[in-house]
Amino acid sequence: MSMGEQLLQLGQQAREAANQLRILSADTRSEGIRAMARKVRDSVAEIVTANEEDMGAATQNLDRLMLNEARVFAIADALDEVAALPDPVGAEMSRWQRPNGLDIARVRTPIGVIGMIYESRPNVTADAAAICIRSGNAVILRSGSDALNSSLAIHRALQAGLAEAGLPIHAVQLVDTPDRAAVSALLGGLNGSVDLVIPRGGKGLVQRVQDDAKVPVLSHLEGVCHTYVHKAADPEKAVSIVRNAKMRRVGICGATECLLIDVDIAPSLLPGIAAALEGCELRGDDRARAIVGMNSATEEDWGKEYLAPILAIRVVDGLEQAIDHIATYGTAHTEAIITEDAATAETFLNEVDSAIVIWNASTQFADGGEFGFGAEIGIATGKMHARGPVGPEQLTSFHYLVRGDGQVRP
Ligand SMILES: NC(=O)C1=CN([C@@H]2O[C@H](COP(=O)(O)OP(=O)(O)OC[C@H]3O[C@@H](n4cnc5c(N)ncnc54)[C@H](OP(=O)(O)O)[C@@H]3O)[C@@H](O)[C@H]2O)C=CC1
Ligand SMILES: N[C@@H](CCC(=O)OP(=O)(O)O)C(=O)O
pLDDT tens, residue by residue, 166-183: 999 999 999 999 999 999
Q: Do the domain assignments include residue 277?
A: yes
Q: Which domain holds residue 257?
A: 225-365
Arithmetic mean of pLDDT over the chain: 96
- Report residues whose beta carbon is within 6 angstroms of any ligand 2 atom: 64, 119, 121, 251-254, 366-367, 376
In this prediction, residue 387 carries a pLDDT of 96
CATH number at residue 388: 3.40.605.10
Q: 254: pLDDT confidence band, cut at 50, 70 and 90?
A: very high
> Does residue 207 carry a pLDDT above 90?
no
Indicate if 204 and 324 belong to the same structural domain: no
In this prediction, residue 210 carries a pLDDT of 86
Indicate if 304 and 204 belong to the same structural domain: no
Give strand pairing partners of 105.
Answer: 95, 401
- Ligand 1 center to residue 222 CA distance, Å? 9
Indicate if 180 and 126 belong to the same structural domain: yes
With beta carbons less than 8 A apart as the criterion, state whether 32 and 165 touch: yes
Indicate if 274 and 353 belong to the same structural domain: yes
Helix (H) or strand (E) holding 142: strand 138-142
Question: In angstroms, what CA-CA distances link 259 with 184, 287, 330, 339?
Answer: 36, 13, 12, 14
pLDDT tens, residue by residue, 111-120: 999 999 999 9
Q: Do the domain assignments include residue 371?
A: no
pLDDT tens, residue by residue, 83-104: 999 999 999 999 999 999 999 9
Indicate if 193 and 328 belong to the same structural domain: no
The ligand that comes nearest to the alpha carbon of residue 205 is 1
Neighbours of 146 (CB within 10 A): 23
Which residue type, as a one-letter code, is found at position 391? Answer: G
pLDDT tens, residue by residue, 44-54: 999 999 999 99
Q: Do the domain assignments include residue 409?
A: no
- Ligand 1 center to residue 370 CA distance, Å? 23
Rounded to whole angstroms, the Cα distance separating 38 from 28 reads 15
Q: Do the domain assignments include residue 68?
A: yes
Interface predicted TM-score (ipTM) over 0.90: yes
Q: Whose CA is nearest to atom 42 of ligand 1?
A: 202
Indicate if 44 and 155 belong to the same structural domain: yes
Asked whether 379 lines ligand 1 (CB < 6 A), one says yes
Q: Do the domain assignments include residue 297?
A: yes
Q: 365: pLDDT confidence band, cut at 50, 70 and 90?
A: very high
Indicate if 167 and 313 belong to the same structural domain: no
Residue from 284, 350, 296, 285 nearest 319 by CA = 350
In this prediction, residue 385 carries a pLDDT of 87
Q: Whose CA is nearest to atom 6 of ligand 2?
A: 252
Indicate if 206 and 232 belong to the same structural domain: no
* DSSP 3-state of 337: strand
At 109, phi and psi to the nearest 5? -130, 155
At 267, phi and psi to the nearest 5? -60, -35
In total, how many domains does the chain have? 2
Indicate if 275 and 357 belong to the same structural domain: yes
pLDDT tens, residue by residue, 309-340: 999 999 999 999 999 999 999 999 999 999 99
pTM of structure: 0.94
